[in-house]
A and B are shown apart, each in its own frame.
Chain A
Amino acid sequence: DVKVTQSSRYLVKRTGEKVFLECVQDMDHENMFWYRQDPGLGLRLIYFSYDVKMKEKGDIPEGYSVSREKKERFSLILESASTNQTSMYLCASSLAGARGQPQHFGDGTRLSIL
């Protein structure tokens, strides 16, 4: 079974802090993704990566950056946290391939910015 592990289930930080969310997958997947989930808005893609050191902006990248130094690990960084970044953050991974590959999700990090 694919395992996607997010480092924290709950996190409370202060406005202006630099925040790191970590995600690790154990199935050698090429693709990794960061989403935020807000009520009524579904899952919105922040950033994704298709290879080590490669990254692409998603639909809402402003205020975020990412790092992928190793294939199994994908980090989301909030450069200077703001209250509107309070949300549920979900990490996912998938295989590369010609056929559409399902994404496998971690259990999420519920982040509160005070």
Chain B
Amino acid sequence: GQQLNQSPQSMFIQEGEDVSMNCTSSSIFNTWLWYKQDPGEGPVLLIALYKAGELTSNGRLTAQFGITRKDSFLNISASIPSDVGIYFCAGQLKAGGTSYGKLTFGQGTILTVHP
């Protein structure tokens, strides 16, 4: 199936540092989503992006829908210990219709924050 390339695979940072991660695809997406998964739990939606070039913030998190529609970025500013977890990007190729809401997920970025 379709794959998204998410990088980096893992990050070890100090508390207070900023974090950047990204996803790229060979296909054009109409929707980009970013999720966070805490240990032992299911992924939780952080940010949803619906327009090329869109830049959206959620507290210390900022995500952008790439102009080419083939990539997306997530930035976390001033990291704190509770930012620890796995971050996933997800894209939807077509809105509604025959896609039935299917998403394609990246492999995930494992974030570790040292106090």
Quick one: which of B43, B96, B102, B107 contacts A98, CB cutoff 8 A?
B96
B28 at the interface (CB under 8 A from A): no
B66 at the interface (CB under 8 A from A): no
Quick one: which of B1, B31, B43 contacts A59, CB cutoff 8 A?
B1
- A108 and B42 contacting across the interface, CB-CB below 8 Å: yes
Q: How far is the CA of A48 from the CA of B92 in the complex (A)?
A: 15
B44-85 to A contact mask, C-beta < 8 Å, 1/0: 110010100000000000000000000000000000000000
Q: Which of A42-65 contact B (CB under 8 A)?
A: 42-45, 48, 50, 56, 58-59
Name 7 A/B residue pairs within 8 A (Cβ), A-sorted. Answer: A42-B106, A50-B101, A90-B42, A96-B100, A100-B30, A104-B45, A107-B42
- Interface class of chain B by DSSP: loop
Chain B residue at minimal CB-CB distance from A56: B100
Contacts of A100 in B (CB 8 A): 30-31, 33, 48, 50, 92, 95-96, 101
CB distance from B70 to the nearest CB of A (A): 16
- Interfacial residues, chain B to chain A (CB-CB below 8 A): 1, 6, 9, 30-31, 33, 35, 40-45, 48, 50, 88, 90, 92, 95-97, 100-103, 105-108
- A42 and B95 contacting across the interface, CB-CB below 8 Å: no
Quick one: which of A4, A99, A103, A108 contacts B103, CB cutoff 8 A?
A103
A88-111 to B contact mask, C-beta < 8 Å, 1/0: 001010111111111111111000
